[in-house]
Amino acid sequence: MFLVWMFFLLSLTIIILILNITPMINIHKNSQREKKSPFECGFDPLTKFRVPFSIHFFSISLMFLIFDIEITMIIPMPLMMNLINMNMWMSFNMLMMSILILGLALEWKEGSMEWK
């Protein structure tokens, strides 16, 4: 048991010595500030990192999201044709297309599709 404790203490002492001596013999003592700073794609990391938020990008992303959801509802239409009667299928198709066209017309009238 004594040998185990001696081995543990000796190992701990060697580790502490290595950790304390390594910074003293480090070759790169005089490195520059720029080399120590993180790389920020050419920007100074100490400046203001937030840019003003453009609401136009947000509205474009919302339009894309809504269009994407409508497309995912339109894609299974041919598969539904065999499950329900033709009148119901046509009315659902017309409803979905009218919602798509109405949304497009409103966005166009509002001017949110034009780049400002």
pLDDT, one tens digit per residue, over 27-81 is 665 556 666 666 666 666 566 666 677 777 887 888 888 888 888 888 887 787 7
**Residue 11: what pLDDT?**
95
Q: How far is CA 38 from the centre of its chain?
A: 21
pTM (two decimals): 0.43
Q: Is the dihedral of CA 92, 98, 101, 103 positive or negative?
A: negative
Helix, strand, coil percent values for the chain (each to nearest 5) = 65, 0, 35
User: What average pLDDT does range 10-25 have in this prediction?
Assistant: 89
Say how far apart CA 116 and CA 56 lie, in whole Å: 8
**Residue 37: what pLDDT?**
63
Residue 13 — pLDDT band, cuts 50, 70, 90? very high
